[in-house]
Structures are given as structure tokens and as C-alpha cells.
Structure 1
Amino acid sequence: MGDPSVVADLAATFTKRRAIMSWSALGKHVCSQVAPVWPLARSIAVNPWWQRRQETIDQVAISEQTLLGTAMLMPADYYRARWQQQIQPEHLARARQLQGSQLSEAELVEALNAAASGATMPSVAQILDSGKKRNTTLPWQTEIVHQLSQFCALWVNYPEQFNGSDSHDALYLAWLDIVRHDRGIELLVGERRVEEQLQQLPRDSEALWQEVAKDLPLNDPHQVEAWLQVVLHDIYGWASVFAQRRWARQLEHSSQVYDELDQLLAIRVAWELICWRLASDNKRQRFIDAWQQLEPRKQLVTEQQQALWVWQRALELSYQDELATQLVSQPMLKGKSKAPELQAVFCIDVRSEPMRRALEAQHESIQTFGFAGFFGLPVDYKISESFIKPQLPGLLAPQYRVTQAKDAEGVAQRTHSWRAASWHRSLESPAGAYGWVEMSGLAKIWKLLERSLWPSPQARIGSEVVRDQTWLIERDGEAATTKELAQLAANALRGMGLTGEFARHVLIVGHSACVTNNPHAASLDCGACGGQSGEVNARVLVQLFNNEDVRERIASVYGITIPAETVFYPALHDTTQQQVSVLGERSLPAELANYLVQANAQAQDEQRQRLPDQPTSSDKALLRRAASWSEVRPEWGLARNASIIFAPREATANYDFAARTFLHSYDAEQDPEGAVLTQLMTAPMVVAHWINMQYYASMVAPVTFGSGNKLLHNVVADGVGVFEGNGGDLRIGLAKQSLHDGKDWYHEPLRLTVVIAAPTDAIDKVIAEQPVVRELVENGWLYLWQWEPAQQQLQERTAKGWSELGARYDLAV
């Protein structure tokens, strides 16, 4: 058997190595839980807790509050202000039952008066800062975040300045080389031993993890993982940026030499190691004592949140009551007696719902459909050799590339666009803005006067160079075949439910938002188009639908016959001005064009009433608002979104959903195999959930998942994100002005209610086969209802199965 002492030493060595490796592995696991955030020009909404959807939402809420102080529920004051206003006793009573709470109504009301614990689990840097008055120096945590954030901005904006990009430690080594030459850190934190400690750090991240595991007194893997979450939280904005870069590489199946996110955590951990080595014995003991309180702290948070979850459920019930009552108030309408003369396919965006109502109200021969705004086209748009924009959801990778001819007109337009874009980018930084004012002086007065007298929104880069010209559609550098184009067109027609009874005139309506001086402009554009205008997708799809060869193949292969007299038109819905315009050379007949004018006027009136200052009824009021460089609320975007409905339009046509509902056309009778339903529940439903949770998170956790005050934003690294002020971590999520009207919250933090008009067994089949869908439904990230419009029935699906909603809502069943 050998010498027992040697065996014992080998066993101890193996155990030690295993423990050391586990720290690095735990670090990778913590990084894997970070949700991506896209650059400003391609901004799309994301559920910031997306990578933790395998856990129930209340479990995640306990963890976030315990470790980070990040709330997933509103403060008690918010619910108190809505008690016996929006939240009625019957809502609270049902919420108690659904949450399994034993608390009485009086106890729940009293719980709103209890002071919530504000303590969080500390990093070593925080412990080092505690109990010390700093009049002339910065706190460690502040300086660490500032220094690391500035470094990340340099890394993203000037990658060519860094060597070793082929190393798995590229980011870590670049940081180490820079920080070792930064003499200012010692002065800022008031500690002369920093340079010495930086020199002692290993030039290998795995060796760093070994030193951290050896020095820090955290032996429980749960404590280690929790501590890593705490330290990464300091720089969560940049972590989210690197998570998106990782996401993009994985989506493109690109080779991955190094992972920035894992190294970012290693850098932050390196600072923790330095702080530990510089800490006194007393500070070290305080760190140890604090982390021994992890489980008691978690139990306290669990108890505090139980009552708040009842209030949150009651708030959601107050909305769901109205929705359920509306859905069962009348049977589904039969088909219109008159054949459609005009059909319009809109994006499912909640801002399309008022416009669809307005257009349908003009005449009974008008019919609208709802479909994801990229219209099923997995494309990117090549504007120039160096600039390509994705035109599809972030969940998907483009399969085709669309371009337009490089003639003299196109080149001139692009040149003008780049010059204008360079000017605007130069004004986005404080230093650049002052410099340009100093140089241009009086020469810019005319430009400012022109904008005041003749307001015009600022065009997004690339959008203004789109022309009425044939699109080239390529796949892997080769022109797409008629077979491929016909499949794209047929998939789009099936997805939007337009497979028969075509009108003579059909609009394919993309959407965009026109604003000025708004770094977050992309967040108002089409989320289904990757934060871009949907104009390109609309134009390309219309080209396919009007192509005779494509029509012939659609008819012969897919059984969808488009009448020869049917003409498709590209159109664009400007959500800021609530205006639909037909694009291209073809124009609608005068009568139909007039219907569009009247619908625009009706939708604009509703838009004005929804805005906080309720601008005048002038048809230029919304334009002036969109063109104003000082307007912080050009429109409300998708604020107050609360539900998505998959059903035939006849089932929802007579309802006013007040711009709170995503409406996607779906006819279960035309989908016997459930293929379309699977696509809907794995793509549009997930995208709507992301949007819903971005608004939710920006409201309940504004410090972590909101971007703060728009007036203080400065664009970072050529558009990767914004600082609030001139430093600190990168701010992600929505600004407060996108959620708050200046006096009270405009948005309501409600989880998405998904309503599907399909058989329960078809829905269950998707849930069983799609893990993501199952996690969202059964872990409480959204609500799922099954709707029978003809029978006026509703059922809800939870982890426990199906239950009738009729008795719960006291509705007819």
C-alpha cells in the first residue's frame, strides 16, 4: 500500500488542487449567469435574469436581495400607494390564496410598514472602506470600479492598441500591463503599497485563482460563489457587454481564443486579493464574520419578501382581471361580410395596436394582421463594405445578406450619411461637444435656427440611404435562388396567417421611431429587427411577394396562391409620430390612401393623450416633439406592456387594449401539426418576455438594471453604452424618463401574461419539448393562459397543470 504519510500527502494535494480548481470553475459559472446587453446602435430588450430562468423567480429574488441588495419587487411604499386604489381587497384575497400565504389582510397591510433590511454581503474592498473617514482620498470600491471601467472602455474602443489577442489571458494581461504603470491609484486611495502588490500578481489567470483560493478564508463553495457574484456586481454593466460579445461568438459558431467575461471577473478578483493582503487583522475578521451571516441574512430576506410577493401578485391580478373580463365579454366575431380591399401586416409591437384599431375603424373592408416585425427574414443589411446591420432578433443569426446597388446616387447618400454621423458622434462626448462649439462658433447658429424653425428628426445611420431600388439577396456570397426566396416568402405568409383571400392591396408595415439627440434611439425602433428600423425587411419582403417566379413556386410547392391582381406595398409606421406612410413609387388608390390619413389622425390623437404633457392637437405637435434635441420623452416606447395574445384578429378586433398588448395573428385550425405554435412560443413569446422583463427590471432595480437620468448620459466607446456622468460602471437598461412621467410611475412592473387561442394539448406539447418555454412557465417568469374565444373560456397553465380561470375571476365559463 506504500508509506501512509506519502499517501496522505498525495490525498491532501489532490484535495487542495480540486478545491483550487473549483474556484475557477465557480467563477465561470457565475459569469455564465450574466445576461447580454447589446450596443446602443443595436439595442434590444433583454431579461437581465435570463440566464437564471432555470430557478423560480422568487428564488432568484431572494438571492439578488441577499447578496447584492438588488430588488425584484417594488418598495413597500409603491404597493401602499396603490392599496384600495388599483389593488382592491378582492385582489389581495386572491393573491393570498395563490401565494399560499397564511397572513391576514391586516397583517399584509402592516407588513408594508416594516423596515426592509438594507444590508448586503460585502466584498473585501467594501470591508476595507468601512469605518474610515475619507476627506482627501477615494473609497477603494469607487476607485476600483472607475479604473476598471475606464480600462474596459479603452479595450472595446481601441482593440488594436493591445497585444496578445491570441492569448487566453488577453484582457487580464492588458489590464495588468496598464495598471502596473498607473501611479495615481496609490494617491487616490491613500495606500503606498498598491504598486508593490500589483507587481506580485501572477501573469496567468489560473495562477491568480490559486493564490486567491489560498489566501481568502472562504471554504464553503456556496460562499465562494456568492462572494464572486458580489464582486462581479460592481462592474455588472461591463460584464453584460462582454456577455453579449460571448453570445455573438457562440451564435456565429466562431472560434473563441479568449473569453473577456471570465477574465473581467479575474481582474476584479485580483483587486480583492490586493485588498485582502493590505487589510488589517481586524478588517479580515470583519469580512469573515460578515460571510458567516450569509444563511441568517438569506432567511431574513425570505421572510420579508413573502408579504411583498403577495402584494406583487395582487397588483398583477388587478390588470389580469380587466384583461380576462375583456376576453370573455363577447364571442368571437365571424369573418367580415365584405371581402377585404386593403390588408395591412403590422409588427406585434404594442404601439401598433392603436394604429391597427384606427385603420380598421375606417371601413369594414380593411383587415390587419400582427407578425414579428422582421417578418421572418433572417437577414442583415450591408450598407457599405465596413458597415453591416442585423435586421433580426438577437436570438437568431442572419442567414442572408441584402444590399442595394453602388451607383453614384447611393455613394453620395452614404458619404453624406457618414459625415453627418461623424458630426453627431463628435458631440456625444463632453470634451468633443465643447471642442466643436469652440471651433465652429457662430457658424453653427444657422443650423440651430434651422432646426428650431423647420424641425426634422435625426435619421438613424443607414436608414437614410435606403432607396426605391431592387434588393440583392445573397447567401454565403451567392445570389439566393428562387427556391430559397419562395421558402422565405411562404414561411412569412404562413407565420402571419395570410394564406388565402388576399386583398387587392396589401401593406407590409415595418416600424421605426424618429427622434433627435437620443443615444438610446434604437430602443424605440423594432426589437424584432435587432433595434433597427423595419423598413428594410418590409421592402425586401414586398419584393419577394411581387416577384412572379416566387409566386409561381409558392403556389406549386406550398399551395398558397396570390391572385395576379394583388399588389404588395412596403410601408413604415413611425411610432413617435403615430403615422403610417407607404414607401416606394407605387401609391394606394385615393380612397384607401385617405383611409390611411384618417387612421393616422385618430392614432395621433390617442398618442397625444397618452403623453405626459398632452401636446396640442396640431398635426405638427408630435413632429416637433420628435425633432426636439431637448425632449427626454419623445414617446413612451413599450412602457406599460403587460400581455401578448396569439389569436385570430377576429377574436380581438373589437377590443381596446390601450397599447399594452402585443397582438400576433394565429389560427390554430391552420396549424394542425403545431409547427407555427412552436415558433410563436419559442421566438415572439420569448422576445415579448425579454421586453417585459427589461421594463420590469429597470423599474424594480434601477441602480443595477436602469440607466439613470438621461440628462447625465455620456456615450462610451463609440456607442457600446453610456456612463451616467463621466465614470463609474456602464449603465444598462432604461432611463427613469422612460418609466416615470415626472410626477409618478407611468409603467407598471407586471410579469407578462401570455394568451394563446390553441388547444391545451398543443400548448402542452410545446412546453414538454422546449425547455426554455417550460422554465418560463413553470418557474413563474410569466403567466400562460389558454383561450377559447368561441366558448368565452380561459384556463391557466402553471407548474401544477391547468386550472379554469372562470371561478377565480367570477367569469362565465
Structure 2
Amino acid sequence: MSQLTLQELGQQVCKRVAPVWPLPRSIAVNPWWQHREASIREVAEYEQTHKNVRLLMPASYYQQRWLREIQPEHLAQAAQEHGLQQSAQQLLQALQTMDSSAGALPSIAEVMNSGQERTRTLPWRTEIVHQLSQFCALWVNYPEQFNGADSADALYLAWLDIVRHDRGIELLVGERRVEEELATLPRSSAELWQLIAEEIPLSMPEQLDAWLQVALHDIYGWASVFAQRRWARELENSENVYDELDQLLAIRVAWELVCWRLSNATQRERFVDAYQSLAERRAQTVHEQEVLWVWQRALELSYQTSLAQQLGQLQPVTSGAPQLQAVFCIDVRSEPMRRALEAQDKGIQTFGFAGFFGLPVDYQVSESLVKPQLPGLLAPQFRVTQKQDAAAQAQRTHSWRAASWHRSLESPAGAYGWVEMSGLAKIWKLLERSLWPKPQARIGSEVIRPREWQITKRGQPSLCERAAARAAAEPASDAELAGLAANALRGMGLTENFARQVLIVGHSACVANNPHAASLDCGACGGQSGEVNARVLVQLFNRAEVRRILAAEHGITIPQSTLFLPALHDTTQQVLRVLSTDSETKNSADSAHKGDTQQLEKWLEKASTSAQKEQRGRLADKPRAAKALQQRAANWAELRPEWGLARNAAIIFAPREATAKGHFDARAFLHTYYAERDPEQAVLTQLMTAPMVVAHWINMQYYGSMTAPQTFGSGNKMLHNVVADGVGVFEGNGGDLRIGLARQSLHDGKDWYHQPLRLTVVIAASISAIDKVIAEQKVVRELVENEWLYLWQWEPTTGDLQQRNAAGWQAISKLQETQHDLAI
């Protein structure tokens, strides 16, 4: 190779893998995040040409949407934007005649079975993926069982030692020479790469890159796990002794080398011919996607047109003296509850803010369990914990025992042995869960008590987390706490005109028997409940010394009569309630606040009832019973306890006064933003580099789980088995680790519930302010100009909208004008 060695090219391939977090900390990620420097159309062409991974839905999907969501005017505008001079009938006919039969490029393992009838043996690729996946599960779950963890080739050497003693592989694939070839592999990954470069007859860098992508794609679930472990090390600046992801690819191509040596001339010729036809494959993909992109854009316009109409007609409300203020997470599921709460009284104001409320903290549940309570993009700077009284210790012991029992049932042995040995002992529990079901709280949430929180500096993490936990923790100073409070207040747009009562509302999702429960909790809190962050922030806001520093040094004066209260929004049951607080906070409330309690409870109860009715209407079976949501959350056999963030499509940064009269149907993230209070665009920069990116990740996770379900979706929930104590799931008993969303999170059993739309970002700020952030922030510029999302500028007072792309700004009204008269 001329510039990069094959090993270096492999390292470049590994850098394109997006991370995926373990189940207990599951957060959404754009599966193409590492490709954002290229346009989405270039990535779509590359992914489909090489791996048959699609960023567009099949032609049949768009046909089904024609004259339902997609109307003639949408298709006309989409065709105009893409420069196609075709009628609606021609575009529809192109869908009907489209041939999408081309598959992915083959790996060497895949061509090993060409031309052979295999009735009693497994395909090579199937057995390789299964063997390697089982090995990765052992590596992740039992690292102490492997020697040489300080070696640069630790993962590769561990695999080599195991696979050389596996006599079953020869029997399963029907090839007696496997053991002999495995014995010839070098014990150095560098030497392995050199052998591969010498023996595999692909000379062009593009061909080699494609082959390495295909090989890694076979085990992409585990590649994503190792990418997250790499991400975590880089985020915390920890030393990197070895890189599991690079070694995973080395192991996979080691199998390719073995297969090459065992292949015949016909199989080798088929493999080489496939990679020499890259140009023809690319031309076919470009031709197919040219039409599909028009239909995809038309689908997005079907939503954007109605959104633009609503934004153009909204009239800002005039706010008077606030009676109650509530700060919610921007999560799309909060939007119906915010509307329902505001409808109770004209004096109720709600605000939207990222659900971790700007607190860069992790939560130490016990000596052995620490939960990050912030987005995956950030590293925690502080640690919060509570002193454990006798009641908390007892509750924690009970929860740990229950969790241990539950994990034992998830293990392969537990699926049979434990049930046989202790089925009678647990029969009462099974009956109780069936007859009197109760939603389950996540581990850690149930030990929280209405007690004071201790906040300490986290500092630089130690290489040994246990040693770091034992180290003396330095308490955060009042000045540092006031700084956190000031940043939170500015971020949520609440710096003046405080109400007497202010709710800080975290959110969680109580469900039963759901390995993916974290994906329903707060993504901004790292896949955890937002209760911890809400409680800690309330403690800061109510602290007298913090308020003094806020007024003296940050120019934010909180009236003495203002009381902050923590609250929790259960999105599965659509229940909003105030959390109990410690005695210190209770004592700070005067008699007037106590008199407000009954009114507050009535407002929350009525808001919950209204939001529950709306949520029941979104469910596939549309239940009418008032307790239907609670029963659904408690049902251990329920596949769709709620829709999560399905159908998310937009994020709006604007004053709530501007959006208060809108009805966004739980499809929009709503973040409060006052441009006039942000002259230096400091807050806007934070919004466009953090909440906007997180919303984009969520949006693209749902998008990818629909367009490429075999790679970025986790399949059928009914077949899930938890792997390696929660690192992920298998669909069935083996194969690659499945990542992304299950089909039940996207489909109601009859039709798709979610729509694969790129996120529309709406910002109520000046064009110059937005352009300043785009110019200064490379990530934001890539997302906007490479069309990974849409960016709109909105003027609430006039309703005017403009869209930004690589060519600059253009009025939305002009974009929606079309000169095409498409025949239907």
C-alpha cells in the first residue's frame, strides 16, 4: 500500500464505529456519528454499496405513504429541490419498478459456502460470528479470567488461546484443517496484518477499505461496545494500555485469513470479482438512491409543512405574575404534560431544559455502584451521595438481593437450573406479580431518601476506581455550588420574576421486566431517572449561602419567599408528583407555602389526568380505562409499555411564551431560550453543541433502527436475552450483539408508528447569532451543511422562518413555493 499500511487502514475503519452504551446506562447515539464530516448522501451511498446498510427506507414504504402523509405538493417541492424534472406518476412508477435485490459485498467467510449444499454443517460466517460473539461476552463479563491484560495484544492473544482449543469448530463447519491453520497464526497482531497484506489479493485501497468494513460489520454490535469503552477512556483521559476495538478487527480478519487459506479457486475468484465491481455497484446505488432521496425529502416535508404553518400562526402569550413555575426536561414526552399543567391556570409557567439540569455529576449509590447522571458527551466533575440511615440500608440490601435473583434468572444456567430448583419457592412471587402487578423502580432509585445530599469534587479519575472511591473526597465550595446554580438558571431561562413555588421536574419510566428500561429514562441523565438531579438542584437553590452568592456575584436574585421543590414525571404512567424533601427544606417553607400545597396537588392531579387521556390515545390498542397506563407499566409481559421518544421530529429553542399556544403532539423537544438575555451567544453555543446534538442522536437512533434494522435495530423483544450482565442483548441465544431499538418500539403490530425524519432544529435568535455559532463550532457546521439535520431561524413576533444549508439562508415560504405541476 502506498500511504497507509493495512493495519493503519484497519485502525481508520475502527474509528468510524459509533459507541453504544450498556443497558443500565443506555442512551441514544447517531449510529453514523463518526461519518458526520461527510454529507449524509455520500454516507448513504457508501454504506449501501459496501454493506447494504441503508439510510433510506425501501421503495414499498414510500409507496404506502403516498397520498397519506406524502401529498403531491410535498413531492413537487422535493423534486424541485433535487433538480428532477419528473411528474408524480413517473416518480411513483420509479418506486414500483425499483430493484433493490443487491446485497452486501461478501466476506471471505461468506463465499466459503458458495456452490455447496450444507445440510448438516453451519455456514462459516454464522459459526465465526457466534464463536467470536461468545468470546467477547466472556471477555467483558469475566475480565479477571484472562491473563496478559497489560499486553497491547491482550484481546487477540486471549482469543487465540481459546480458539486453538475449540475442537467443535471443525465439526460445525465440516472442515478438518481448521485447527492446523489456527496453529499457524502469529502471536502478534502486527505480524498478522503483515501476513494478510501479503496473501489477500486486493490491491486498491478502496477495495481493502471496503473489505475491512464488511468484515467488521459481521460483528458490529460488539465493535460498538468496544467503541464505547474507548470513548469512556478518552473522555476521562485515562491511560490506554490496549485498544479492544482494533484487536477485534484483527481477530475478525484472522478468521478471514484462515478462510482464504482453506478456500478453493472458484471461491477466491468470486471474492475478488465482487470487490473489482465496486464502480458498477456504486453506479447502481446512486441511480436507486436518486429517486429515494426525493421521496424521503417529500416525507420530511409532510411534517415540516405543518410545523412551519403552526409556527407562523402562533401568537406569543402575555405572561402576568406567575403563580407556579415548573422546569421540565426537553424530552418530547414532557410536551403534553407541560400543556396539561399550563391549562390549569393562567399563572402557571413551564420551562424546558436538558433533564440533567446542567449538573455534571455522578451518583454514588454504594461503594460498588456509581451512576453517571449526565449526557454521554460529558464527563462528571462532581459526585453526589446521601448518608445511609438504617431504613436506607435495609432497602438497599433488599433491592440488591432482588437484583441478584433477577440476574441469575437471566443467565444461561438460570434459565433452567434456577427455575427447576426454586420454582416452588418463588411461585408466590410469580402469582403476586401476575395478580397484583406493580411498576418497578430502577436499581438505585428506590434507596433515595428525603435527606441532604453531599456534593464533592470528583477530580481526575484514578486508574483504579476502587482506589479513587477510597480517597478522601473534597467537598464542593459554596462558590462552586453557586456557579452550578447560576449556569442552570441561565440555561433554563429563569433568572428573574420568580414564582413563590418553582418545581424542578425530573423524569423516569417505571416498567417491569424490561432490559431496555434505561432507554425510557432520561437520556440527558445518562439513561437514569432525573430524580437525583432534581433533588440536588433544589437543595442548591434553597441554600441561603448559594442565594447570597447568586445575587452578589452572578446578578441573579431569588426572593426569600420563593421555594424550590423537586418533582418527578413518570412518562409511562403520565403522573406528575412532588417529591418529599428533607426537614431543612420543609422548615424553610412558611405558612403561606403550606397553604399552597393543596392547590398545587390539585393542579398536578388534573394535569396528570389530562396527559393520561392523551397518552392512551397514542397507544396501539387505545385503552379507555383510567388505570390502563399503570397496568401497562406493571405488566411483566408488556412489549410496549410506552412509545418512548418515537415520532420525535423537531427541537425548538425559544421563549415558552412563543410556543405556549402550540400543540406539538409529543413530537418536539422544547427548550426555553431568550436571545435578548444572551448577547454574547454563550448560552446559544451551549444549546447548539449539547442539547441539539443529544436530540440529533436520539433522532438518528430511531431513524437508523428503521432504515437499517438488521444492523442498528435489536429485532424482536420477545427473543431478547441479556448478555454479560447487561452489556447488551442477543436476539435468541447467539449471533452478534443486537443494538438499537426493538421493532416493538417503532411498530404497533400493524403499521409503523415512528417516521424516519431528520431532526428539524428551530431557533428563535438572529441569523447573525446562529451563523456565529456555526462558524465557531465544527461539529455544528458539519451537521448543518452535510444535511444530517435541518436548521431553521424563527422570528416569533412575525412568524417568519428561514432555513440554513451549505449554500446559506433561504426563506421557508420561498422553499415551499414550487413551479412544478406534477400530474397525479
State TM-score, norm by structure 2.
Answer: 0.95
Match of 2:108 in 1: 124
Matched letter for residue 407 of structure 2? R
Match of 1:466 in 2: 448
Structure 1 contact 381–389 (Cα < 8 Å) conserved:
yes
Choose from 650, 660, 666 the match for 1:643.
650
Choose from 554, 561, 564 the match for 1:565.
561
Match of 1:727 in 2: 734
CA–CA distance in 1 between the matches of 2:350 and 2:47? 43
Structure 1 contact 117–301 (Cα < 8 Å) conserved:
no
Matched letter for residue 189 of structure 2? S
1:209 is the counterpart of 2:205 = no
Choose from 524, 530, 547 the match for 1:528.
524
Matched letter for residue 562 of structure 1? I
Match of 1:85 in 2: 68
SS at match of 2:423: helix
CA–CA distance in 2 between the matches of 1:25 and 1:546? 55
CA–CA distance in 2 between the matches of 1:84 and 1:332? 34
1:716 is the counterpart of 2:699 = no
Gaps of 5+ in 1: 1-15
Choose from 588, 609, 615 the match for 2:623.
615
1:740 is the counterpart of 2:747 = yes
Match of 1:356 in 2: 338
Match of 1:4 in 2: none
Match of 2:550 in 1: 554
SS at match of 2:112: helix
1:288 is the counterpart of 2:272 = yes
Please state how far the C-alpha of 1:635 moved relative to its aligned partner. Answer: 0.3
Structure 1 contact 768–774 (Cα < 8 Å) conserved:
yes
Deviations 1:564-592 (Å, cap 9, x if unpaired)?
01000000000000011100145752112
Deviations 1:641-678 (Å, cap 9, x if unpaired)?
00000000011000110000000000000001000000
CA–CA distance in 2 between the matches of 1:629 and 1:589? 35
Match of 1:517 in 2: 513
1:482 is the counterpart of 2:464 = no
1:598 is the counterpart of 2:582 = no
Please state how far the C-alpha of 1:34 moved relative to its aligned partner. Answer: 0.1
Structure 1 contact 517–630 (Cα < 8 Å) conserved:
yes
Structure 2 contact 765–795 (Cα < 8 Å) conserved:
yes
SS at match of 2:762: strand
SS at match of 1:443: coil
Choose from 423, 430, 434 the match for 1:448.
430
Match of 2:390 in 1: 408
Matched letter for residue 803 of structure 1? Q
Match of 1:174 in 2: 158
Matches within 5 A, 1:794-813: 794-809=801-816
CA–CA distance in 2 between the matches of 1:686 and 1:100? 30
CA–CA distance in 2 between the matches of 1:442 and 1:180? 43
Deviations 1:357-408 (Å, cap 9, x if unpaired)?
0000000010000000000000000011111000000000000000000332
Deviations 1:625-650 (Å, cap 9, x if unpaired)?
10000000000000000000000001
SS at match of 2:132: helix
SS at match of 2:116: coil
Matches within 5 A, 1:681-696: 681-696=688-703
CA–CA distance in 2 between the matches of 1:119 and 1:130? 15
Choose from 770, 776, 793 the match for 1:769.
776
CA–CA distance in 1 between the matches of 2:166 and 2:346? 71
Structural RMSD (CA): 1.2
Deviations 1:510-547 (Å, cap 9, x if unpaired)?
00000000000000000000000000000000000000
Match of 2:410 in 1: 428
Deviations 1:304-347 (Å, cap 9, x if unpaired)?
110000000000000000000000013322x323x111100000
Structure 2 contact 315–661 (Cα < 8 Å) conserved:
no
Q: What fraction of aligned residue pairs are identical, expressed as a percent?
A: 71
Matches within 5 A, 1:347-386: 347-386=329-368
1:316 is the counterpart of 2:300 = yes
Match of 1:660 in 2: 667
CA–CA distance in 1 between the matches of 2:602 and 2:760? 36
Matched letter for residue 54 of structure 1? E
Please state how far the C-alpha of 1:810 moved relative to its aligned partner. Answer: 5.8
1:493 is the counterpart of 2:489 = yes
Matched letter for residue 172 of structure 2? L
Please state how far the C-alpha of 1:454 moved relative to its aligned partner. Answer: 2.5
1:754 is the counterpart of 2:750 = no
CA–CA distance in 1 between the matches of 2:81 and 2:684? 28
Match of 1:276 in 2: 260
CA–CA distance in 2 between the matches of 1:425 and 1:508? 34
Matched letter for residue 174 of structure 2? G
SS at match of 2:289: helix
Please state how far the C-alpha of 1:430 moved relative to its aligned partner. Answer: 4.8
SS at match of 1:506: strand
Match of 2:468 in 1: none
SS at match of 1:474: strand
CA–CA distance in 1 between the matches of 2:13 and 2:761? 30
CA–CA distance in 2 between the matches of 1:420 and 1:209? 47
Structure 2 contact 77–817 (Cα < 8 Å) conserved:
no
Matched letter for residue 637 of structure 2? S
Q: Relative to structure 2, which stretch is displaced further, 779-788 or 290-299?
A: 290-299
Match of 1:578 in 2: 574
Matched letter for residue 303 of structure 1? H
Structure 1 contact 777–797 (Cα < 8 Å) conserved:
yes
CA–CA distance in 2 between the matches of 1:501 and 1:632? 45
Choose from 397, 400, 405 the match for 1:418.
400
Structure 2 contact 314–659 (Cα < 8 Å) conserved:
no
Match of 1:10 in 2: none
CA–CA distance in 2 between the matches of 1:25 and 1:441? 54
Gaps of 5+ in 2: 460-472, 587-593, 819-824
SS at match of 1:368: strand
Please state how far the C-alpha of 1:38 moved relative to its aligned partner. Answer: 0.1
